[in-house]
Amino acid sequence: MDSIWKMFRINILIFTVLFSLACSSVRVRATVSYDDKAIIINGKRRILISGSIHYPRSTPEMWPDLIQKAKDGGLDVIQTYVFWNGHEPSPGKAGLYVHLRIGPYVCAEWNFGGFPVWLKYVPGIEFRTDNQPFKVAMQRFVQKIVNMMKSANLYEPQGGPIIMSQMCKQETAPDPIIDTCNGFYCENFRPNKPYKPKMWTEVWTGWYTQFGGAVPHRPAEDLAFSVARFVQNNGSFFNYYMYHGGTNFGRNAAGLFVATSYDYDAPIDEYGLLNEPKWGHLRDLHKAIKQCAPALVSSYPTVTSPGKNQEIHVFKSKSGACAAFLSNYDPNYSTKLTFRNTQYDLPPWSISILPDCKTAVYNTARISSKSSPAKMVPISGGLSWQSYNEETPSADDRDTLAMKGFLKSQQWPLLTVMSAGHALHVFINGQLSGTVYGSLDKPKLTYSKNVNLRAGINKISLLSVAVGLPNVGVHYERWNTGVLGPVTLKGLNGGTRDLTKQRWSYKAGLKGESLSLDTVSGSSSVEWVEGSLLAQKQPLTWYKTTFNAPQGNDPLALDMISMGKGEIWINGQSIGRHWPGYIAKGNCGNCNYGGTFSEKKCQRDCGQPSQRWYHLPRSWLKPSGNLLVVFEEWGGDPTKISLVKRTA
Ligand SMILES: *[C@@H]1O[C@H](CO)[C@@H](O)[C@H](O)[C@H]1NC(C)=O
Ligand SMILES: *[C@@H]1O[C@H](CO)[C@@H](O)[C@H](O)[C@H]1NC(C)=O
């Protein structure tokens, strides 16, 4: 991961420059302030439309296009977090230029909430509370970042693009901090003081995929409805979380089964293509809202209720601007609503926008942009694989765990292992005896199986696997992941034996990782086999192949349907964990956009792998001789892995 973060450091300047182009009106040196109506830039109240794009979830080569698509979609602002653990993997080694949500805590389904793991080992530390060591660490990081941005003149009063920093959802936020709202809906939110503007910092455009879960989908009609509802109730700033979700490359996905894809059903898809009709429907919404802006920023709405589930919000400024929002809150039935002697037809669960109080230019449930589902198209030409078997963890007594048994003859006692890890492989005398893994609602797991022990000394080896570190929760610094015990053997000469206090030895990581098998030099240090010797359906196996970059510019992915679980590297860079063996459970029935949305509604691809395709960024490829390495934990058939391109 080191090289990717170096790349970010170099390219963040470019990102900032492009960002300032996206906010054409903030390039002049001016002050930023606010009142109860809106953020005020350059003395002018602004309706600001923003979108979250997290820079490490795409590649620097993708940024110009993503930012252009955000601008074309009608955005004024781009919001990103700063990801501390990417920039300071060991204490004191920083070097970055970024803006806006400076954390230090980021949540974001990001490994350890963005904190570097070393922070957990600062003596006396407790995360995210009134704790001195924590405050000292936070201050050091925040000051460092703010100073770097100041010295690069990135703040708006310096002529830079940053208009806001570190907004927060906290009700008790002291002045002049503005407390804000995050959620699927925020129309009823009120800031903690009457002189603060009403801001929605996370409009959830969808939801994140988890291994074992179905793919979330939020209908564009409901998303547009929620935004229009917020704006008609005095809202003047909203930020789509996510506008582009992207990919959790490497091991950046947070704990609890967060998938490698962070597509989020965002308006721009994981691969950088437009997610239609959502992108276009929101672009049209933004256009309508901007037409209403003169009335919105200079008046409060007058609200009337002409019928059941009907509401009319009228903004009228002293200078004569008038804008109206006509609403139908019925989730199932359309309605006819009369406003100023004209009748308007409103579909269920929808709002019509009249920027001149006469013409309905937009309705949140009438989509005029075309739906264009993207397709994964296989690229011809198979990959030719070689394999290498990972050593079983019990192969070396010096650094692996061992347990001495006292058996007189062969027996099959019941082995029970309690683990706080997310997956566990159990080896008895070097042979894989079984595998268990957790689920979304039950991350802790128990292995319980009769195992084959022989007379004399037996070795039990436990390979514990975490799918990310926690990123949220009270005192998540205290959470442990891994085998915490107890470990017991039942039925051994009649009784139950507690092995927890036995002498265990411990080792982190795989042999193949320490040999850097994902790199060209590392992979040449071991002997690989191929052809009829190629390992098939065998757990703990490394696979490698080389290929040339396909022609064209379409985004690329790997179809991993034939594989189980593991990790993938291209030219030494990890593109993330794969786990197509985990089949999605969820609620994939009929999807009616009407009615209150939750992430469990309108899901897709139940009964399919939670994630079948894995983004292979084009910019990580060379024209020829790309080294693709797959570590397969469960067992799979690499000959059926295929390279695909994504076309809209
Ligand atoms: C808009 O803001 C004004 C002033 O704070 C308030 O009186 C009014 O109730 C708000 N209207 C809505 C619909 O939230
Ligand atoms: C709308 O329809 C759904 C399902 O068709 C039903 O469960 C719900 O009660 C209806 N709601 C209203 C307000 O009529």
Q: What pLDDT, on the 0 to 100 scale, is given for residue 397?
A: 54
Residue 437 has a pLDDT of 92
Q: Supply the DSSP symbol for 56.
A: G
Q: Which of 118-127, 209-218, 611-620 has the lowest mean pLDDT?
A: 118-127
Stretch among 114-128, 188-202, 300-314, 625-639 having the lowest mean pLDDT: 114-128
CA of 161 to the centre of ligand 2 (A): 46
Chain segment 528-538, per-residue pLDDT in tens? 999 999 999 99
pLDDT digits (tens, 9 = 90+) for 223-260: 999 999 999 999 999 999 999 999 999 998 888 899 99
Ligand 2, residue 332: give the atom nearest the CA.
Answer: 1
pLDDT at 89: 67
Which one-letter DSSP state was computed for residue 196?
A: S
| Ligand 2 neighbour 304 (Cβ under 6 A) | no
Q: Of 167, 13, 4, nearest to 87 (Cα)?
A: 4
Q: Is the CB of 473 under 6 A from ligand 2?
A: no
pLDDT at 145: 85
Q: Which amino acid makes up residue 36?
A: D
Separation CA 521–CA 526 (nearest Å): 10
- At 503 the pLDDT is 81
Q: Is the CB of 118 under 6 A from ligand 1?
A: no
Atom index in ligand 1 nearest the CA of residue 187 equals 14
Nearest CA residue ID for atom 4, ligand 2 = 332
Which ligand is located closest to the Cα atom of residue 589? 2
pTM of the entire predicted model: 0.91
Identify which has the larger pLDDT, 70 or 398.
70
The tens digit of pLDDT for each residue in 80-103 reads 876 667 766 666 544 222 336 777
Ligand 1, atom 11, lies closest to the CA of 233
Q: pLDDT band at 611, cuts 50/70/90?
A: very high
User: Residue 19, exposed/middle/buried by CB under 10 A (0-12, 13-18, 19+)?
Assistant: buried
Please answer whether residues 463 and 424 qualify as being in contact, where contact means their C-beta atoms are separated by less than 8 angstroms: yes
| 614: three-class secondary structure by DSSP | strand
Q: For residue 73, what pLDDT is reported?
A: 95
Cα four-point dihedral sign 149, 154, 157, 159: positive
**Ligand 1 site, residue 232, Cβ cutoff 6 A:** no
Cis bond before residue 199 (omega within 30° of 0): no
Mutation probe of ligand 1 site: the residue of 233, 305, 311, 314 with most atoms within 8 A of C-beta: 233
- The residue-averaged pLDDT of 598-621 equals 97
pLDDT band of residue 7 (cuts 50, 70, 90) is very low
Rounded distance from Cα 181 to ligand 2 centre (Å): 28
Asked whether the predicted pLDDT for residue 400 surpasses 60, the reply is no
**CA of 334 relative to ligand 2 center, distance in Å:** 13
If you take atom 14 of ligand 1, which residue's CA is the nearest one? 233
Q: How far is the CA of 289 from the centre of ligand 2 (A)?
A: 30
CA–CA distance, 399 with 507 (Å, rounded to integer):
6
CA 194–ligand 1 middle distance (angstroms): 10
Q: What is the mean pLDDT of the chain?
A: 88
Q: Above 60 in pLDDT, residue 526?
A: yes
Q: How many residues does the chain have?
A: 648
Which ligand has the nearest atom to the CA of 230?
1
Q: Specify the residue with its C-alpha closest to ligand 1, atom 8.
A: 300
Phi, psi at residue 144, to the nearest 5°?
Answer: -60, -50
**Over pLDDT 90: what percentage of the chain?**
64
Ligand 1 pocket, residue 275 CB under 6 Å: no
Residue in 257, 611, 633, 214 with CA at minimum distance from that of residue 467:
257
Which one of 332, 596, 602 would you pick to mutate in the ligand 2 pocket, going by the greatest count of ligand atoms within 8 A of its CB? 332
Mean pLDDT for 290-308 is: 97
Q: Whose CA is nearest to atom 3 of ligand 2?
A: 332
Distance 548 CA to ligand 2 centre (A): 54
Q: 28 CA distance to ligand 1 centroid (A)? A: 32
* pLDDT higher than 60, residue 402: no
- At 1 the three-state DSSP class reads coil
Whether residue 410 has pLDDT greater than 50: yes
CB 549 within 8 A of CB 566: no
Ligand nearest to the CA of 197: 1
* Range of lowest pLDDT (10-19, 164-173, 347-356, 526-535): 10-19
Residues 6+ apart with CB under 8 A from 57: 244, 245, 246, 247, 248, 249, 262
If pLDDT is split at 50, 70 and 90, which confidence band does 13 have? very low
Asked if 375 and 646 count as a contact pair (C-beta separation under 8 A), the reply is yes
Does the CB atom of residue 332 touch ligand 2 within 6 A?
yes
- Any idea which ligand is nearest the CA of 193? 1
pLDDT digit string (tens) for 325-362? 999 999 999 999 999 999 999 999 999 999 999 999 99
Nearest CA to ligand 1 atom 6: 300
The atom number, within ligand 1, closest to the CA of 190 reads: 14
pLDDT in the model for residue 401: 45
Residues 159, 161, 163, 165, CA torsion sign:
negative
* 349 CA distance to ligand 2 middle (Å): 12
